[in-house]
Structure 1
Amino acid sequence: MVKPLFLAHGSPMMAIEEDNYTEFLNNLGKKLNPKAIVIFTAHWDSETLTISSSDSTYETVYDFYGFPDELYNVKYEAQGSSTVAAKVEEKLSHEGIKVKKDLNRGLDHGAWTLLKHLYPEANIPVVQVSIDSKLSIEEQIKIGSALKTLGDEDILVIGSGNTVHNLNLVDFEAVSSDSWAEEFDDWLINRLKENDFNSLYNYRDQAPNADLAVLSPEHFVPLFIALGSSSLLIPRVIFREYELGNLSRLCLEF
């Protein structure tokens, strides 16, 4: 059995950097040996949940610009799994969640920057799934809940995003983390540990600095898909750090 994870994917530069976070990811990958990975990425936002359903090797998608040439030379050539994709489709459809298949899309940086450090040999099948950031937190949890039994089959569910993600406020000269970002994460962690779903559903009104931390929801909602896919709903903070002053690297196991 493997437990679902919410992992921060941060800047694309993470793919070619070595620091505390990439070391953590590398060690985490050594501890976990899933049969397959199902990853919900903040960088694939669609009105209908879409499942990568090909057995082919993924292309590496560089969905960013203005970075060093070295980053654009990185390849993460994981294979898909139509079998696991069909399993995901069946479970979501059974709960009345509309889905469709995609046979062509590559892995975006919300997926491959993490997976490159977790499983550098790209030897575990990956199924990439889109999010719909316009859905409520309650609906995001429902999506995850449809996939609860995947962990029992040693299929690792990952929500890839960031709890605090406001690129307008990042500070490239920062040497410490911003208190407003820490306060938001503190509130979130406490509400999760208390299973205070009513507060989580209404985080916009109740969380401190929510308007700064979650400028738009696409990086935030993958956390709730991971939460919903847990059989225990007991969160554990497995990493916490801040990049560029306030870009959260909070990671959770559920």
Structure 2
Amino acid sequence: MLPSLFLAHGSPMIAIEDNEYTDFLQNLGKSLQPKAIVVFTAHWEERMLTVSSTDEEYETIYDFGGFPPELYQVRYPARGSTALAAELKRTFEAHGITAALNHSRGLDHGVWTLLVHLFPKADVPVIQISVNPFLPVKEQYAIGQAVRTLGREDMLVIGSGVTVHNLRQIHWGQQEPEPWAVQFDDWLIEQIRKGDLDALAEYETKAPNARLAVPRPEHFVPLFIAMGSGASPLSEAKILYRGYDLGTLSYLCFQF
């Protein structure tokens, strides 16, 4: 039985960094032995839920610019699974969620920057799934609920995003987090511990500094999908890691 995870992918630089957060990811990966990995990634947006479907080795997508040359040399040669992709499509549709298959898209950095640390051998099949950031929170949660049983089959569901993600508010070289970023995460943790999905669904008006923390929701909604896919009650969620970089970029991670 595997849990569902929300993991912060933060800066693409985590793929080549050696720090407390990458140590955490490596140790977390050693504790897990999934048969397959299903990642809902903030960096793949589609109006219709779309599932990667291939048996071939994925291309590694460098969907960013301005970073050191060595980052563009990283490759994550995982393969997909057309059988699992088809099964997931059927599962979503059985829950009333329209889904499509994509046979050509590679892995974006919301996926491979985490997986190079979690499962460095790239020997576990990976399925990448898009997000629609404009669906209401409870619909995001329902997408997760549709795949809640995957953990029982030793398939690992990951929501890859960031709770506080505002690139206009980052402070280069600052390690101490800004108070407003901490306050937003504190509120988020409090609602999760209370199991208050209704409050979470209204985070835009109820959470302190919500517009600063989440100027656009694509990095935030994978959290709600991961919540929905968890086997345990929301109130039993665990904080796996909490840290900040660049003053405001949150590395808050949960297990559901």
TM-score of the alignment, normalized to the shorter chain, above 0.5: yes
1:175 to 1:38, Cα distance in 2 relative to 1, 3 A = closer
Q: Deviations over 1:27-67 (max 9, x none)?
A: 00000000000000000011001100111100000000111
Unaligned runs of 5+ in 1: none
Provide the C-alpha distance between the structure 2 equivalents of 1:32 and 1:216, rounded to a whole number of angstroms.
32
Provide the C-alpha distance between the structure 1 equivalents of 2:25 and 2:118, rounded to a whole number of angstroms.
5
1:174 to 1:38, Cα distance in 2 relative to 1, 3 A = same
Aligned to 2:171: 171
Aligned to 1:94: 94
Where does structure 1 differ by over 6 angstroms across 4 or more consecutive aligned residues? none
Match of 2:248 among 241, 246, 249: 246
Give how far 1:246 is off: 0.8
Aligned to 1:51: 51
Provide the C-alpha distance between the structure 2 equivalents of 1:192 and 1:216, rounded to a whole number of angstroms.
21
Aligned to 2:35: 35
Provide the C-alpha distance between the structure 1 equivalents of 2:66 and 2:227, rounded to a whole number of angstroms.
34
Matches within 5 A, 1:102-251: 102-232=102-232, 233=234, 234-251=236-253
Give how far 1:173 is off: 2.6
Unaligned runs of 5+ in 2: none
The AA in structure 1 aligned to 2:118 is L
Give how far 1:198 is off: 1.2
Kindly, what percent of the aligned residue pairs are identical?
54
Q: Aligned Cα RMSD in Å?
A: 0.6
The AA in structure 2 aligned to 1:156 is L
Give how far 1:175 is off: 3.2
Q: Deviations over 1:134-156 (max 9, x none)?
A: 10100000000000100000000
The AA in structure 1 aligned to 2:248 is N
Aligned to 2:67: 67
Provide the C-alpha distance between the structure 2 equivalents of 1:195 and 1:236, rounded to a whole number of angstroms.
12
SS at match of 1:2: coil
Q: Deviations over 1:192-217 (max 9, x none)?
A: 11111111110000000001000100
SS at match of 2:168: coil
Provide the C-alpha distance between the structure 2 equivalents of 1:198 and 1:40, rounded to a whole number of angstroms.
22
The AA in structure 1 aligned to 2:249 is L
TM-score by length of 2: 0.98
